[in-house]
Structure 1
Amino acid sequence: MSPLVRMRKRIAFLFLCVSAFLVVLIVRLAFVQLGQGAELTKKADESHFRGVPVAPKRGNIEDCNGNILAMSVSSETVYAIPAEIRQSGRTAEIAQKLAQILNKPLADITRLITKRAALVYVQKRVDSQAAAAVRAANFPGVGVTEDSRRYYPNGSLAAHIIGFTGIDNQGLEGIELTRDKALKGTPGSVQVEFGANGVELPQADRLYFPPKQGDTVRLTIDKNIQAFADRELQKLMAGQGANMNGQAPKNASILVMDPNTGALLALAMTPTFDPNHYQDYDPSARRNIAVQNGYEPGSTFKIITLAAALQEKKITPEGHFFDPGYYSVLGKNVRCWKAGGHGDETWVQVAENSCNPGFVEMGQRLGINEFYKYLQAFGFGQKTGIEMSGEAPGILANKKKATALDLATMSIGQTNNVTAIQLLTAVSAVANGGLLLKPQLVKEIDSPSGQVLVPFQRQVVRRVISESTSKLEREILEAVVTNGTGRRAFLPGYRVAGKTGTAQKVVNGAYVQGEYVASFVGFAPADHPRLAVLAVVDGVPFFGGAVAAPVVQSVMLDSLKYLGIKPSPDAPMTPSKPMPGLEFPPVKKAASVPSVLGLSLAEAQKTLTQAGFQVDVKGQGPNVVDQIPHGDASVEAGSTVLIDLGQEAGVPSLGRWWADEDEDVAAIRSLGARVPLTAARVPGS
């Protein structure tokens, strides 16, 4: 082979090697540029761009009509970049001046701005004067960024439902916690270019990534109905409730539900707190007693016993039962609240009279297995799934160990432990045609643009009784209010169904004499229920018919009027068996409340007075910023309208439409000893 040929082969081989190298290099460059370009660019930016977070505003929490219950208002936060402060050589000077401006200890400021961290928050939620002073000082490595804080314009209204947030705007309790992901939004940032020495570059690029506001959570709660309930609780705690005679309970709760959907319209309880200043209250005031506390329901539970007996055809309305004043079970007597008993009565009259022996007989006819089947079907002994943290499941007596005597006491609402939300949910199943529904607090979730992201959906758990049984029991419970122990919840012109309840309190495994949990649960209109209301008053020496029934009556009346539910022409105007001292004045007509928002105090008072309303004023300021009931609401003529002149929206003080009466159920004596009961008289109302 000639030297020329060998040289050409070598040149060709070298060319191929160089070409292969170039191909590999081009492929590698393409991979780096196209495949890893974005990631490497991000890493490069991170090495010389530093971001100052911009907090998003949490979404609003609103009631079912769009009234704001929780909102975010702008505030400012002072931050520091320790590396830049160290580079400036002015650490001591900056710490000294920041401590003066922010009114914080020098040691705390020094510790923060010398941390080994990319960025630290020196102080959140500073006032405008302090923020302006920090900006004017123009310290290297120190700046002010936009922030927000939570504000609850209605103070304590629905506080246990809404909850509150922490210093970093994180949800801590209530809806603020359970819907924190939807409410909190997405943070933004301001990116500033720095050199390798940690100092901001002259004329450096600044990139702004705006935060995304959180979604709006619209609740099923109605602000006005919630205010009606809060008003009655305030009366109770002031000892001004019906027959309270100045004595205040230890705690109380009022729940209002739409029995057809499971939507909670009000969930009020006392003691309560203001979420704007939740740190100032005892932690016990923040406890959601309607969801987290259990109690023995007493006679309100007879609704469940009656439903099971009717469904299983163990009784018929026209059937008879003879009450001698007691019922003997395993050698023990469970006595009726009426001395000597009620004698011969129909099963409807057993319900009207809240006759303990009659309900014990229902339980005995059902038997332990069947009775427990309905306990579980109605949701007792298990959580309802309501969107509140810490829900209690209640406590049921051990079925395997239950005796006929346990069955007797359970049939009249003793022994077992339930929560208020469990009982109202179960009674709503009786009212709505027999469907147990999941109680709900969230109506929908909307995006900042108004798009519905999560719509409301009724959630049926199971059918517990038939529609025919539901209809029959509604009629019987209506007779309880018209003819029986629930007459203090009677509303002229409205068909109301309900049941009283009184249970002696249990402390350390034994009943406490003279201290009761008084309750009443009712729904209206009885033929087509729109509202179910439960009031539980804990720690009073009174019975449910005397204390809790008037509370339900007042909340239900104002709520029915507010919702525009008109009286029924075929509904009675007085109970068929009036109680001594229980008199009903003529029914007032409904009247529409004029809107006075934006008016001066004098103009608002004149407008409302001319319309026939009384006026209650709260707050300070030149104009009316809120009113309860709202404009165009339909309420009793002559009622009181609360107008708010300040930032805090108050609780209304609508007038009662008849005077408080003396106690009824005079024959009730006492509850007796701990189970097993021996010659014990258990309150029937």
Structure 2
Amino acid sequence: MSQPSISSKRRLLFIFTAVSLVLFGLIIRLGWIQIVRGEKYKELANRYQTRDIPIPAKRGVIYDRNGKELAISASTNTVWVHPNEVDEPEKTAAVLSSILELDEETVLKKIKTSQYIVKIAPYIDDERAKAIRAERLKGISVSEDNKRFYPYGNFAAYILGHTTDDNKGMAGIELEYEKYLSGIPGRWIKNTDGAGRQLSFSTEKYHQAENGLNVVLTIDEVIQHFAEKAVQNALEVNKAKRVSVIVTDVKTGEVLAMAVKPDYDPNSPRTPIDEELKKQIETMDQEKQLEAWYAMWRNPVINDTYEPGSTFKLLTTAAALEEGVVTPQSTFVDNGYIMVAGQRIRCWRWYNPHGHQTLVEAVQNSCNPVFVELGQKMGVETFYNYLDGFGVSDITGIDLPGERKSLMYSINNVGPVELATISFGQSISVTPIQLVNAVAAIANDGKLMKPRIVKELTDDDGNVVHRFEETMIRQVISEKTSKTMREMMEAVVADGSGSHAYIPGYRVGGKTGTAQKVVGKGYAQGLYVSSFVGIAPADDPKLAILAIVDEPQGFSTYGSTTAAPIVKEVLEETLRYLDIKPKYTDKEEEEFGRAKVTIPEVRNITVKEASKILIDNNLQFNTEPEYYADENAIVVDMFPKPGANVPEKSIILLYTKPNENIPSTVEVPDLKGKTIKEVNIILNNLGLKLKISGSGLASSQYPEVGTTVETGTIISVEFKPE
């Protein structure tokens, strides 16, 4: 056998060496991939093979104290994209943008992102969801979702707040109780191949979403309805910038109603109800729009301060009585002014001084010099101790976001003039919730309660998970002083400036207030904040109420004629709703006493039939505005209930729903030349909605007069100044 040549051996050695080096390199590379970079490639494999589909939790329901749903989660659909699974981005973007009516470039940008999963469009209807599923687009999935919905529109907007597009709380209760309402989202995790098919060796994991807890408010939907109706009416009558009302339970600190107008619709929080404001926001840049939105969402009852004016005199009087520096029979002489540290401080009626008067009469007359004297007799330190006691120097701790502290002089900076002006409600700014809570303490035998707006948290089965108990903060004044103050407050309504809050058969106490607004560094001429704070019944207080009219521009700017009527309207309806019986004096019985009528049963019949029965029984009625009722609407509930005894001509509240068996149509009436209030009443009686543009008197409308439309149709009316 011949021996291999030297050249052959060299070639074999070269090949062996090359193969060995290649194999060694592959081993090194394999080791590098499996050992050194193993975790990274494992992560990449999991990333491209694993599909993690979010399962949103159902947001908890917000109820009023009687179980009426004020905020719910409606089922809807959300479109998602897994960018790494999309084969034809341009085609996919074109199809989606066509179905969803979105900008194609925006959709394409989301599809081409490097993220694992991206939301294309939230809250689409079932029809569009079905259309997208029918296209069978690779990398596109449509999942069930929940959208926040507020059945009553702008009802209690500043209490409920609203959510973001991602269903996160943005304001009000939605923000304050976000961690309870939101729940815990679920996940569906599975391994798939490049075509989206589930791998046979994969392990599928499904984590069920945990629904959020339900929040039960202290708010009573009926009382809130009374408050909102009164506030809206006062806003129009007084041509005011804003009107607010808050009603609390004196004994527990529970907020029963909190109404502010103008407001916004939480279902569409970035679209103002006011057409003029809407047009202004549309022309703003993004930064200005944000400022305008946050201003619109701001709850003035909690987040804003104001000078309380004469309503603050109740605190000064209570403190002075408790300290024993005066008695109700103490006498004073008003010359129209008082000199303090060389400065003349005038009474509001300086041109016609009150002259000789007792403390009771001074409270009725709201005489500034008398309260300056009370402040001087107590001194700064003592007076400030009582202000601390009434809770006006700190936040109340109410469970709503962004509560603001009062604006007060530091005690070291309070001189004789500052003490004098604070004594009658100037040079100090408080929030409405602070003032009404302090007055509630005066009425509640001197006990200051912590205000609260949430009663309890419940689960899906209605079980109470947590109950928020009433909390007494401190005893501020004695029961004796409290009783004296209630009598003095009642005298203000019976014989003083608060007569517009008088309700026959009920002992109402209160105090008016009219304060010039502070703008910049001084008081603005012609701009006022008018208010009235009240309690009822004065002999056994159940309710405390504060009404504030910001910048009234109507026939009057005084709290006695702008705010007091609001309090009367809300209290009159609320006291009857709470079944607090009127107790007429002999004089009232003669003037206001009416025969009793037993309320007949009118449920499950039409409004037309119900109205005839009620009128025949000498009763009146109103329909609940949550439905657009016409004479064919069905009465589903009523208040008071059948069988209750009420005075003749009492108003019975009828809760209605559309009659599905009778398609209802009406002719559009002529609205020209009528006020907003008149138009609203006319359309509401016909079961039509109103869309307002401008202010003043109606000048044009659409649809036109005589057009036949279905009940529930929106009638656009343009109003122009008279």
CA distance in 2 between partners of 1:514 and 1:105 (Å): 50
Aligned-partner SS, 2:379: helix
Which residue identity lines up with residue 563 of structure 2 in the other structure?
Answer: A
CA distance in 1 between partners of 2:311 and 2:645 (Å): 31
* Pair 1:55 & 2:41 matched: no
What do the CA deviations read for 1:12-64 (whole angstroms, capped 9, x no partner)?
A: xxxxxxxxxxxxxxxxxxxxxxxxxxxxx999998855231121211110111
- Pick from 550, 558, 564: which aligns with 1:549? 564
- Pick from 230, 236, 240: which aligns with 1:249? 240
Aligned-partner SS, 2:440: helix
Q: CA deviation at 1:146?
A: 0.6
Which residues of 2 match residues 478-489 of structure 1 at below 5 A? 478-489=490-501
Which residue identity lines up with residue 64 of structure 1 in the other structure?
Answer: R
What do the CA deviations read for 1:157-176 (whole angstroms, capped 9, x no partner)?
A: 11001000111111100000
Corresponding residue number in structure 1 for 2:126: 128
> Alpha carbons of 1:337 and 1:112: their partners in 2 closer, same or farther (altered >3 Å)?
closer
Contact 2:603/2:638 (<8 A) preserved: no
* Pair 1:289 & 2:304 matched: no
Contact 1:155/1:275 (<8 A) preserved: yes
CA distance in 1 between partners of 2:519 and 2:645 (Å): 45
CA distance in 1 between partners of 2:185 and 2:90 (Å): 32
Corresponding residue number in structure 2 for 1:36: none
Which residue identity lines up with residue 265 of structure 1 in the other structure?
Answer: L
Aligned-partner SS, 2:539: coil
Corresponding residue number in structure 1 for 2:482: 470
Aligned-partner SS, 2:529: strand
Q: CA deviation at 1:591?
A: 6.7
Corresponding residue number in structure 2 for 1:373: 385
Q: TM-score if structure 1 supplies the norm length?
A: 0.80
What do the CA deviations read for 1:408-433 (whole angstroms, capped 9, x no partner)?
A: 11111111111111100110110101
> Alpha carbons of 1:348 and 1:294: their partners in 2 closer, same or farther (altered >3 Å)?
same
Q: TM-score if structure 2 supplies the norm length?
A: 0.76
What do the CA deviations read for 1:74-133 (whole angstroms, capped 9, x no partner)?
A: 001112222332xxx344433332222222233222222233233222211111111011
Corresponding residue number in structure 1 for 2:175: 177
Which residue identity lines up with residue 443 of structure 1 in the other structure?
Answer: K
Corresponding residue number in structure 2 for 1:315: 326
Q: CA deviation at 1:308?
A: 0.5
Which residues of 2 match residues 591-610 of structure 1 at below 5 A? 599-606=605-612, 608-610=614-616
Corresponding residue number in structure 1 for 2:368: 356
Corresponding residue number in structure 2 for 1:532: 544
The answer for unaligned runs of 5 or more in structure 1 is 1-40, 240-246, 575-583, 654-685
- Pick from 338, 363, 368: which aligns with 1:327? 338
Corresponding residue number in structure 2 for 1:229: 227
> Alpha carbons of 1:251 and 1:642: their partners in 2 closer, same or farther (altered >3 Å)?
farther
Contact 1:296/1:503 (<8 A) preserved: yes
Q: CA deviation at 1:197?
A: 7.8
Aligned-partner SS, 2:142: strand
* Pair 1:447 & 2:464 matched: no
* Pair 1:266 & 2:257 matched: yes
Q: CA deviation at 1:223?
A: 0.8
Q: CA deviation at 1:404?
A: 1.5
Corresponding residue number in structure 2 for 1:613: 620
What do the CA deviations read for 1:302-344 (whole angstroms, capped 9, x no partner)?
A: 1000011000000012222222332222222323333342222
Corresponding residue number in structure 2 for 1:562: 577
Corresponding residue number in structure 2 for 1:305: 316
> Alpha carbons of 1:344 and 1:99: their partners in 2 closer, same or farther (altered >3 Å)?
closer
CA distance in 1 between partners of 2:353 and 2:390 (Å): 30
Aligned-partner SS, 2:302: helix
Corresponding residue number in structure 1 for 2:592: 586
> Alpha carbons of 1:508 and 1:642: their partners in 2 closer, same or farther (altered >3 Å)?
farther
Contact 2:85/2:194 (<8 A) preserved: no
Which residues of 2 match residues 131-280 of structure 1 at below 5 A? 131-195=129-193, 199-201=197-199, 208-239=206-237, 247-280=238-271
Contact 1:562/1:635 (<8 A) preserved: no
Aligned-partner SS, 1:528: coil
Aligned-partner SS, 2:94: helix
Contact 1:598/1:623 (<8 A) preserved: no
Which residue identity lines up with residue 160 of structure 1 in the other structure?
Answer: Y
What do the CA deviations read for 1:570-602 (whole angstroms, capped 9, x no partner)?
A: 69739xxxxxxxxx9625567787786765444
Aligned-partner SS, 1:384: coil
CA distance in 2 between partners of 1:328 and 1:56 (Å): 66
CA distance in 1 between partners of 2:599 and 2:426 (Å): 45
Q: CA deviation at 1:399?
A: 2.0
Aligned-partner SS, 1:415: coil
Corresponding residue number in structure 2 for 1:82: 83
Corresponding residue number in structure 2 for 1:66: 67
> Alpha carbons of 1:131 and 1:631: their partners in 2 closer, same or farther (altered >3 Å)?
farther
Aligned-partner SS, 1:307: helix
Contact 1:300/1:500 (<8 A) preserved: yes
Count of equivalent residues: 591
Corresponding residue number in structure 2 for 1:639: 651
Which residue identity lines up with residue 614 of structure 1 in the other structure?
Answer: F
CA distance in 1 between partners of 2:139 and 2:604 (Å): 46
CA distance in 1 between partners of 2:600 and 2:165 (Å): 40
CA distance in 2 between partners of 1:60 and 1:181 (Å): 13
Q: CA deviation at 1:501?
A: 0.8
Contact 2:215/2:454 (<8 A) preserved: yes
> Alpha carbons of 1:635 and 1:549: their partners in 2 closer, same or farther (altered >3 Å)?
farther
Corresponding residue number in structure 2 for 1:667: none
Q: CA deviation at 1:361?
A: 1.3
CA distance in 1 between partners of 2:316 and 2:637 (Å): 43
Q: CA deviation at 1:378?
A: 1.1
The Cα RMSD (Å) is 3.0
CA distance in 2 between partners of 1:446 and 1:99 (Å): 41
- Higher mean alpha-carbon deviation, 173-182 vs 116-125, is at 116-125
The answer for unaligned runs of 5 or more in structure 2 is 1-41, 273-291, 660-676, 682-722
Contact 2:404/2:431 (<8 A) preserved: yes
Choose between structure 1 and 2 for higher RCO, CA contacts under 8 A separated by at least 6 residues.
Answer: 1
CA distance in 2 between partners of 1:588 and 1:490 (Å): 18
Which residue identity lines up with residue 109 of structure 1 in the other structure?
Answer: V
Aligned-partner SS, 2:58: coil
> Alpha carbons of 1:134 and 1:396: their partners in 2 closer, same or farther (altered >3 Å)?
same
Aligned-partner SS, 2:568: helix
Contact 2:306/2:430 (<8 A) preserved: yes
Identity of aligned residues (%): 40
Contact 1:561/1:635 (<8 A) preserved: no
- Higher mean alpha-carbon deviation, 544-553 vs 108-117, is at 108-117
- Higher mean alpha-carbon deviation, 98-107 vs 306-315, is at 98-107
Which residue identity lines up with residue 335 of structure 1 in the other structure?
Answer: R
Contact 1:494/1:571 (<8 A) preserved: no
What do the CA deviations read for 1:475-506 (whole angstroms, capped 9, x no partner)?
A: 11111211222111111111111111111112
Corresponding residue number in structure 1 for 2:428: 416
Corresponding residue number in structure 2 for 1:345: 357
> Alpha carbons of 1:135 and 1:176: their partners in 2 closer, same or farther (altered >3 Å)?
same
Aligned-partner SS, 1:134: helix
Contact 1:493/1:572 (<8 A) preserved: no
CA distance in 1 between partners of 2:542 and 2:587 (Å): 19
Which residue identity lines up with residue 357 of structure 1 in the other structure?
Answer: P
